[in-house]
Protein backbone atom coordinates (compact mmCIF):
# COMPACT_ATOMS: atom_id res chain seq x y z
CA UNK A 1 0.00 0.00 0.00
CA UNK A 2 1.31 3.45 -0.94
CA UNK A 3 0.31 6.65 0.74
CA UNK A 4 0.36 9.96 -1.06
CA UNK A 5 0.55 13.03 1.12
CA UNK A 6 -0.93 16.25 -0.15
CA UNK A 7 -1.57 19.58 1.40
CA UNK A 8 -3.67 22.55 0.48
CA UNK A 9 -6.74 24.54 1.28
CA UNK A 10 -10.11 22.96 0.79
CA UNK A 11 -11.99 26.26 1.10
CA UNK A 12 -13.08 28.63 -1.64
CA UNK A 13 -10.08 29.52 -3.78
CA UNK A 14 -11.73 31.72 -6.39
CA UNK A 15 -12.03 35.42 -5.55
CA UNK A 16 -14.88 37.35 -7.16
CA UNK A 17 -13.93 39.42 -10.18
CA UNK A 18 -14.10 43.21 -10.13
CA UNK A 19 -14.43 46.02 -12.63
CA UNK A 20 -12.40 49.18 -12.06
CA UNK A 21 -14.38 52.26 -13.14
CA UNK A 22 -11.78 54.87 -12.15
CA UNK A 23 -8.71 55.60 -10.06
CA UNK A 24 -8.43 58.88 -8.15
CA UNK A 25 -4.91 59.86 -7.05
CA UNK A 26 -4.25 62.50 -4.42
CA UNK A 27 -0.95 63.98 -3.19
CA UNK A 28 -1.13 65.37 0.36
CA UNK A 29 2.64 65.65 0.75
CA UNK A 30 4.74 68.82 0.70
CA UNK A 31 6.58 67.87 -2.48
CA UNK A 32 5.43 66.99 -5.99
CA UNK A 33 5.48 63.30 -6.89
CA UNK A 34 5.58 61.25 -10.06
CA UNK A 35 3.31 58.25 -9.73
CA UNK A 36 3.12 55.27 -12.02
CA UNK A 37 -0.03 53.17 -11.94
CA UNK A 38 0.27 49.65 -13.33
CA UNK A 39 -2.63 47.22 -13.54
CA UNK A 40 -2.16 43.51 -14.16
CA UNK A 41 -4.80 40.93 -14.95
CA UNK A 42 -3.71 37.36 -14.29
CA UNK A 43 -0.05 38.50 -14.10
CA UNK A 44 -0.22 40.27 -17.50
CA UNK A 45 0.12 44.06 -17.67
CA UNK A 46 -3.03 45.63 -19.12
CA UNK A 47 -2.57 49.30 -18.11
CA UNK A 48 0.30 51.68 -17.34
CA UNK A 49 0.27 55.45 -16.83
CA UNK A 50 2.72 57.87 -15.24
CA UNK A 51 1.62 61.29 -14.03
CA UNK A 52 2.95 64.16 -11.95
CA UNK A 53 1.00 65.18 -8.87
CA UNK A 54 1.83 68.67 -7.63
CA UNK A 55 1.20 70.29 -4.28
CA UNK A 56 -1.39 72.95 -5.18
CA UNK A 57 -5.10 72.19 -5.02
CA UNK A 58 -5.36 72.19 -8.82
CA UNK A 59 -2.35 69.92 -9.36
CA UNK A 60 -2.51 67.53 -6.41
CA UNK A 61 -5.24 65.24 -7.78
CA UNK A 62 -5.73 63.21 -10.93
CA UNK A 63 -8.52 60.89 -11.98
CA UNK A 64 -8.02 58.08 -14.47
CA UNK A 65 -11.31 56.94 -15.98
CA UNK A 66 -11.86 53.44 -17.39
CA UNK A 67 -8.29 52.17 -16.98
CA UNK A 68 -9.33 48.62 -17.94
CA UNK A 69 -12.21 46.99 -19.75
CA UNK A 70 -14.28 44.24 -18.22
CA UNK A 71 -14.14 42.32 -14.99
CA UNK A 72 -11.11 40.38 -13.85
CA UNK A 73 -8.70 39.48 -11.10
CA UNK A 74 -6.64 42.67 -11.09
CA UNK A 75 -3.58 43.74 -9.16
CA UNK A 76 -3.03 47.51 -9.04
CA UNK A 77 0.46 48.90 -8.33
CA UNK A 78 1.19 52.48 -7.24
CA UNK A 79 4.88 53.38 -7.67
CA UNK A 80 5.96 56.76 -6.26
CA UNK A 81 9.69 56.20 -6.54
CA UNK A 82 10.64 55.41 -2.96
CA UNK A 83 7.61 53.21 -2.35
CA UNK A 84 5.59 50.67 -4.34
CA UNK A 85 2.22 49.62 -2.97
CA UNK A 86 -0.13 47.09 -4.50
CA UNK A 87 -3.68 46.00 -3.88
CA UNK A 88 -6.05 43.42 -5.26
CA UNK A 89 -9.52 44.97 -5.48
CA UNK A 90 -11.17 41.53 -5.65
CA UNK A 91 -10.06 40.88 -2.08
CA UNK A 92 -11.99 43.91 -0.83
CA UNK A 93 -14.91 44.29 -3.24
CA UNK A 94 -18.44 43.36 -2.32
CA UNK A 95 -19.61 40.43 -4.42
CA UNK A 96 -23.02 42.07 -4.86
CA UNK A 97 -21.40 45.28 -6.17
CA UNK A 98 -18.27 44.27 -8.09
CA UNK A 99 -17.74 47.62 -9.85
CA UNK A 100 -15.43 49.92 -7.88
CA UNK A 101 -13.56 53.18 -7.98
CA UNK A 102 -10.21 53.35 -6.20
CA UNK A 103 -9.13 56.42 -4.23
CA UNK A 104 -5.43 56.41 -3.41
CA UNK A 105 -3.71 59.12 -1.33
CA UNK A 106 -0.07 59.87 -0.57
CA UNK A 107 -0.03 61.32 2.93
CA UNK A 108 2.44 63.09 5.20
CA UNK A 109 4.91 60.99 7.18
CA UNK A 110 5.46 58.78 4.09
CA UNK A 111 2.17 56.92 4.58
CA UNK A 112 -0.40 56.04 1.96
CA UNK A 113 -4.00 54.93 2.03
CA UNK A 114 -6.70 53.65 -0.25
CA UNK A 115 -10.44 53.33 -0.27
CA UNK A 116 -12.65 51.33 -2.62
CA UNK A 117 -15.88 53.03 -3.61
CA UNK A 118 -18.73 50.80 -4.81
CA UNK A 119 -20.08 52.21 -8.08
CA UNK A 120 -23.04 49.99 -8.91
CA UNK A 121 -23.10 49.66 -12.68
CA UNK A 122 -19.93 50.36 -14.66
pLDDT, tens only, 70-110? 999 999 999 988 888 899 888 876 666 678 999 999 877 76
Sign, CA torsion 113/99/48/63: negative
Q: What was the pLDDT predicted at 3?
A: 38
Q: pTM for the complete prediction?
A: 0.80
24, 61 contact by CB (below 8 A): yes
Pairwise pLDDT comparison (22 vs 7), residue with the higher score: 22
The answer to whether the beta carbons of residues 68 and 74 sit under 8 Å apart is yes
Strand residue runs (E) in 2-98: 19-27, 33-41, 44-53, 61-65, 74-79, 84-87
Write down the pLDDT at residue 93: 64
The per-residue pLDDT for range 35-76, each reduced to its tens digit, is 999 999 988 999 999 999 999 989 999 999 999 999 999 999
Q: Could you tell me which of 103, 98, 37 has the C-alpha nearest to residue 67? A: 37
Does 38 or 8 have the greater pLDDT score?
38
pLDDT higher than 70, residue 30: yes
Banded model confidence at residue 5, pLDDT cuts 50, 70, 90: very low
What pLDDT is stored for residue 15 in this prediction? 65
Amino acid sequence: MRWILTSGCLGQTDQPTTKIAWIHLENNRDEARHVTVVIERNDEEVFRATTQLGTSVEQSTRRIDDPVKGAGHYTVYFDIGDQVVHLRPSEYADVTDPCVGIQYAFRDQETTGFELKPIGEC
